[in-house]
Amino acid sequence: MNVKQVSAGSEVDERLAALLTNANAVRAIASAVEGTIGSKGLDTMLVDRFGEVVITNDGITILTKMEVNHPAAKLVINVARAQEDEIGDGTTTATIIAGTLLGEAVNQVVKGVPVTRVIEGIRKAIRLATEAITERSRPVSGVNDPVPNPCGLVAGREHEDVAELVVTAAAMIGAEKFQEPGFKLADCITAQEGAGNEVFAGVVIDKQRLNQQMPRTVDDVRVLAVDDALEPEELNEEALATEAGFKKYLELKEEFKSNLQKLITLGVKLVLVDRGVADVAEEALTDAGVMVVQRVASDELRRAAEHTGARLVKRTALRKEAAELQPYLGQAERASEDEKLEHVRILGGRGKPMATILVGAATEEVVDERERIAKDAAASVQAAIKGGVVAGGGAVEIAAARVLEKNRDALRGMAVYGLDCVVEALKKPLAQIVANAGFNPLEKVGDVLAAQSRSTSDSLAVDCETGEVADMLELGVIDPTLVKTHALKAAGEIAEAILRIDTIIKKKEEAQPGARPAGPEAEGPGEMDF
């Protein structure tokens, strides 16, 4: 990687070469997703070398599926992925703000502002802007509050059917579930070709029953969830080769049959297994009218156990006496296989409330995009319930930018130039939204700044249908507060990390254990590639 070559006579110091290279890479990443933001944002087509096509409007999908080689660009994608994992939405906003923020910062550094002063100003401005956004947040009273519906509609790209499904599922699950650290409403979404849109109180296992002789539907179901294989315990080959070992094998096999009979006596009607099922178990449980589903995905097995109140067990737990084993069983009103969609539904569990959002479409490509839309809507609704909402459409970022401009005099020295970078970055979401809607961004950003100053309203932005300044809260254009604050912090982290890079050095190849040196040069110290 040759990053230290700057043409003779250039006004730019060689020391800025790494920064310029990295900044250009980040701006290129931002430009790849900026056309998707807003209600009038367009789709992006991703094509691989085999001709497989993905058409999407989803920022994180574009970022993670596009071919990227530059290390700074990969850094942006990793931060965007962290935003997706933490909040589930806002990756496009974070990337766009980061690209603009870094571009403005580079301009200041080229003019002679020390990098450390720019970073100092960015840090303080990000903190002030985050506080300003949080102060303008409006709380959501719970899952039955009407506010999350517009959030789902905005994040779901105005697909009303998807937003309605998500909000209905949130109400089924209840507010208590949303407070659990590991819970994600987006995990309740499943998308399948040929399915209709549906939400129901229960969970889906994306597998079919073990064989067609097993019942397709069972009612008043006792559930056993086995986080293991449903097979007799194994002995190694050496043990089997001995008479004592073979005898032990026969004993284990008989014990296993006895354990299966114990399950049948306990009234178990549904057995979910993480791994495979032995033939003897399949035969016995089929004869007893038990539905068995094998090789269940671990997350689906966990959700089914949580919904039914079952406790995950290993096969060794089957040795327990019936009275000891009974508390490990779950309960559900019904389990049934949908032969068309090739999955099993478990409804009415006695454990924690669960809901499944089933999203369908005519083709595989459309199904995938519908799933992404639904997951964005679900993440947005969950974030709104947890952290409140603010005016969307770029309005709250403009309000935060105005707050920063009022506090400009409070910063000392050249750190103020870092604050200016954040101000310009906060204007970018609105500018890009109106540009995607076909309006002049410079004109419209100016109109909104003036309108917010005159009316003292922080929720004014541009109606993308008419091009007029309007109140986003009245139009129902709202965003979760957590999405905004996390995106802003993520953008600041990206900018600071890249601004602090002074030199890019190509690492030498690490010798593999046991490998011989490639030649005499391999014995000397590694060379820096400039």
d(CA 172, CA 244): 56
Q: Strands 268-273 and 217-226, how do they pair?
A: parallel
| pLDDT over 60 at 360, yes or no | yes
CATH no. of 202-354: 3.50.7.10
| pLDDT over 90 at 412, yes or no | no
Domain 14-138+390-433+479-499 = CATH 1.10.560.10: yes
Distance of CA 497 to the CA centre of its chain: 23
Q: Strands 198-200 and 356-361, how do they pair?
A: antiparallel
* Per-residue pLDDT, 10: 46
Q: Is 434 exposed, middle or buried (0-12, 13-18, 19+ CB in 10 A)?
A: buried
- All CATH 3.50.7.10 domain ranges of the chain, comma separated, are 202-354
Cβ(469)–Cβ(460) under 8 Å?
A: yes
Other C-beta atoms closer than 10 Å to the C-beta of 289 total 12
What is the reported pTM?
0.75
Mean pLDDT of 194-222: 90
Other C-beta atoms closer than 10 Å to the C-beta of 151 total 30
Cβ(53)–Cβ(45) under 8 Å?
A: yes
- pLDDT category of residue 395 using cuts at 50, 70 and 90: very high
Nearest to 158 by CA among 465, 382, 468, 481: 465
Angle, CA of 364, 367 and 373, to the nearest 5°: 150
Residue 311, both tokens: 């406790």
| pLDDT over 50 at 527, yes or no | no
Other C-beta atoms closer than 10 Å to the C-beta of 144 total 12
- pLDDT category of residue 241 using cuts at 50, 70 and 90: low
HSE of 447 in the Cβ direction (CA atoms, 13 Å)?
17
| pLDDT over 80 at 408, yes or no | yes
d(CA 484, CA 58): 17
For 432-477, what is each residue's pLDDT tens digit? 999 999 999 999 999 999 999 998 889 999 999 999 999 999 988 8
Cβ(3)–Cβ(530) under 8 Å?
A: yes
* Longest distance between any two alpha carbons in the chain, whole Å: 94
d(CA 339, CA 525): 64
* Per-residue pLDDT, 432: 94
| Interhelix angle 395-406/415-436, nearest 10 degrees | 160
Mean pLDDT of 133-138: 93
Residue 114, both tokens: 């020390």
* Per-residue pLDDT, 523: 43
- All CATH 1.10.560.10 domain ranges of the chain, comma separated, are 14-138+390-433+479-499
